[in-house]
Amino acid sequence: MQHPANHIFEFTPETLASWCEDRGMPGFRAKQILEWVYQKGAASPELMTNLSRRDRELLQAEMTFLSGDTVRQQLATDGTQKLLVQWRPYGGASSGSLSLPVLGADGVPAGEALDSKRQTECVMIPTEDRKTACISSQVGCPVGCRFCASGMGGLDGNLSTGRIVEQVWRLGQLKDVGRISNIVFMGMGEPLSNFKNVTGAIRIITALWGLGISARKVTISTVGLPQAITKLAEEFELPVTLALSLHAPNDYIRRKLIPWAEYTTIDELLKACQKWFEKTGREITLEYTLLRDVNDQPKHAQELAAIAKTIRANVNLIRYNEVDGTEFERPRNTDVLEFQKILRSHNLNVHIRASRGRDIAAACGQLRHEAQHA
């Protein structure tokens, strides 16, 4: 069984009005349907009581509302919630999306076991002043960072625009979440290698008729593709935040940690980031995961300071969350604090990211990895 190719989370008011009119519905139905989905959280035509029975039946037959199933949900002691979603098939899906099995009532695809190659993760991270949705852009990851669970099995496919938006919608429906304020593309995948679908999703996420989240509250985290960063600056009109996953103070260490670093240099990345700043006026965030005795020593902090001072940037230090099957360890607290102290001595804006959801494997790719090896 396949679900309809039309996915509600890929439609705009204009394209949905056209779709409605082609099927004999009045064009204003589009506004009503989108209000039900985005404002009222309805994911079933049966709930749309101001639509005629015929229109509801037509929507049910020809439109996919939710294209995946939550096969695992976890709640951390700090309030972080994580979903493991397995995507179902819908006929005629757009290029780059996945063809996935239908789940049975027991949560297992008909005729086969759950397959981690068909799953992605998304996380809700609440604090006192914000509700952040961390979402995935791909199934797996092509980058293969040595310390990250997401890329251990390589890339299995791009998520479509609708499935990226659907993750945010799903997180927004969790109990006691309330309104999502921030979006970070820091889940599974390299967002800029799925450029079209990611930017398409951001337009829907930030639209007033959609999820209505400010573009300034959306962060795209990239391992660093200079041409894609330049393209984002030149072609994408929304003022999102760009975060560069640097993770090393020099090319030698970076290439040991990140296979894709063989194709570019830190200097080339910094030049692309400078162009981003000149074009957008938006400061760069340099993300730096601290790995014990690998990149967390004072000499590394001095090197990183020299890099960070060449562009308008702030630095986000991340304590490593251990992943089974890797050789890396979480840094010592004393080393983390000393690292921060050195960077601040160079007048850099630097923060240590709070570790969230460690008791539920909340780092990107961990839940899928653990489910795969359970």
| Same domain, residue pair 148 and 178 | yes
3-class state of residue 235 by DSSP:
helix
- The residue segments making up the domain with residue 357 are 68-372
CATH number at residue 125: 3.20.20.70
Q: 20 and 101 in one domain? A: no
| Residue 144: both structure tokens together | 């293969």
Residue where a domain stops, chosen among 64, 80, 107:
64
Does 15 reside within a domain?
A: yes
Query: Is 283 part of a structural domain of the chain?
Result: yes
**Residue 293 sits in the same domain as residue 182:** yes
Q: Answer yes or no: are the C-beta atoms of 201 and 164 closer than 8 Å.
A: yes
Q: How far is CA 147 from CA 93, 156, 319, 368, in A?
A: 33, 19, 12, 15
Q: How many domains does the chain have?
A: 2
Task: Note whether 47 and 81 are same-domain residues.
Answer: no
Report pTM. Answer: 0.88
Q: Which residues of the chain have pLDDT under 70?
A: 1-3, 90-116, 356-374
pLDDT of residue 107: 43
Residue 118 is predicted with a pLDDT of 79
329 is a catalytic site residue: no
- Residues in Cβ contact with 31 at an 8 Å cutoff, skipping those fewer than 6 apart: 13, 17, 209
Helix or strand or coil: residue 138? strand
The pLDDT value recorded for residue 193 is 95
Neighbouring-strand partners of residue 286: 244, 315
Residue 1, domain member (yes or no): no
- In the annotation, is 10 catalytic? no
Q: Which has the closest alpha carbon to 203: 190, 194, 193, 213?
A: 213
Q: What is the structure's pLDDT at 17?
A: 98
Last residue of a domain, one of 15, 47, 64: 64
Tell me: do 250 and 116 sit in the same domain: yes
* Same domain membership, residue 39 and residue 79: no
- Is there a domain that residue 296 lies in? yes
Residue 20 maps to which CATH number? 1.10.150.530
Q: What is the C-alpha separation between 116 and 119, in angstroms, rounded? A: 5
The answer to whether residues 251 and 271 touch, using CB atoms and an 8 Å cutoff, is no
State whether 47 and 135 are in the same domain. Answer: no
44 found inside a domain: yes
Q: Are 27 and 127 within one domain?
A: no
* Pairing mode, strands 119-126 and 81-87: antiparallel
Residues 221 and 324 in one domain: yes
Residue that is last in its domain, among 64, 79, 102: 64
Q: Which of 20, 122, 134, 364 is catalytic?
A: 364
- Contact (Cβ atoms closer than 8 angstroms) between residue 269 and residue 225: no
Q: Which of 73, 146, 72, 58 is nearest to 114 (CA)?
A: 72
Residues 193 and 57 occupy one common structural domain: no
Looking at residue 102, what is its pLDDT? 41
**196 and 301 in one domain?**
yes
Q: Is residue 152 part of a domain?
A: yes
User: Is 99 among the domain residues?
Assistant: yes
For residue 71, the surrounding DSSP H or E stretch is strand 68-75
pLDDT, tens only, 292-308? 999 999 999 999 999 99
Q: 74 and 41: one domain?
A: no
Please indicate, yes or no, if residue 342 is contained in any of the structural domains.
yes
From the candidates 121, 166, 190, 287, give the one annotated as an active-site residue. Answer: 121
In one letter, which amino acid is 16? L
